[in-house]
Structure 1
């Protein structure tokens, strides 16, 4: 009888040691989002600000080159297309600036990938989907800029070749929307399924809506004028507005998360 008492006490102690702690009662009780060194948090903040940086730098380049505010459309004549590119250094320099601008999305996607990885439980499948889809979107933003730069490099070439390069650049820029939508849906699923401490749930619903606005862009293959042409209101301007909104909001969400981390030093957790 007396020998069973120590055994029972040991079993009770083992159960208490392995007991799962109670769930936090609110988001404020969960503590910091993650712990980083000061240098790592600085890198995180820089990556977060790259989202709004895409808007500032890319839009500046498009304004310099003349892509904005009135982009070429599929209904422009060959003479108008050639005249656009035969404008000295304006197009090549502007496209060079915009190429740098769209490339800034890569650091922001890296920070977003880490945030999604912190959100998911178990195997981070949605994070991997976002990584691969995001990599494709970054390429599909950059390649059309390079083709426009090629078109402006030798504007004296045959007009039909210049029109071909122009059509290729714009259709590549507008129509490959599937990777963008897949990326939005992966982010949405991770945010909605998470507990809201890393990525807020409203960010998931916003990504669903933004992905829907991209769905019209495939129609640019068909229409040569009107709202569904590649420079139309429901194709170019809607997608440009919502993608810029996505860059701005995502960057600010990542910045907010980086400001809520605990700073870890060699001596321990800093205040």
Structure 2
């Protein structure tokens, strides 16, 4: 005899089934792993955190690339391999933003801003420094150009991230599903402030507004560290609170 399943009254046969959370947890744990490797690369290997000084001579810039050529090549070579981790980190934020009551517009704005920002804010400095260390006999004037291009791009990538942070903050404030706490939106606003405060790096070669200055760089780095720690913590909480039977995000 053939078994006939009795349809459940009130159930939508076309409704998507719950996907579980194993994939969400997998993506979540990639986030702290990626940022740990990111910190090791930028602090210990590539020597751009803290950034080297902008008020140096062409010969000093050439000496910088000669002295740190090996670690720059190892560090930024590794970054090229793992940079997709940034996309994964942004992806899980967007996933939980799509679970908010605010709809999808802000989630896509966040995703677009972060995706565009990764190019000047991360990849360009890596490519510039790798090119600078590729040939030891390169003209010192060209090395200075690559040095300035990489570091101005890295510290001075402003608008892309400011838009992403704005979308994230607005989504949190208007969300009624309480995916993230409201105060995280105000921490995110400080991220926008630090982006604005970094504008003078394009004209300042020394002082607090230079690319290695206390305001343009260090204040932004401290605020970003606090913000990122909060985001990772609340991504974990949001994943824990997500119902196992919740339908996949459309």
TM-score, normalisation: structure 2: 0.82
Distance 2:94 2:199 in 1: 27
After TM superposition, give the deviation of residue 103 of structure 1 in Å: 4.0
Contact preservation (8 Å) 2:110, 2:164 = yes
Shift, 1:197, TM fit: 2.4
The secondary structure found in structure 1 opposite 2:99 is helix
Q: Deviations over 1:19-53 (max 9, x none)?
A: xxxxxxxxxxxxxxxx9534xx2332233334433
2:19 pairs, out of 12, 20, 37, with: 37
2:135 matches 1:154: yes
Q: 1:62 aligns with which of 42, 53, 57?
A: 42
Q: 1:105 aligns with which of 66, 73, 86?
A: 86
Aligned equivalent of 1:131, options 83, 105, 111: 111
Q: Following the alignment from structure 2 to structure 1, what is the Cα–Cα distance between the partners of residues 223 and 29? A: 18
Paired residues for 1:202-241 under 5 Å: 202-241=183-222
CA contact (8 A) 1:45 1:254 kept: no
- 72-81 vs 90-99, which deviates more? 90-99
Secondary structure of the 1:118 match is coil
In structure 2, the CA distance between the partners of 1:174 and 1:132, relative to structure 1 (3 Å rule), is same
Unaligned runs of 5+ in 2: 1-16
Question: Contact between 2:101 and 2:177, CA under 8 Å: does it hold in 1?
Answer: no
Q: 1:101 to 1:76 in 2, by over 3 A?
A: farther
Rg larger in structure: 1
How many residues are matched? 229
2:56 — aligned with what? 76
- Post-superposition CA distance 1:38-96 (Å, at most 9, x none): 4xx23322333344334311221123335155521210111221111113412111222
Structure 1 spans left out of the alignment, 5+ residues? 1-34, 266-271
**TM-score of the pair, normalised by structure 1:** 0.76
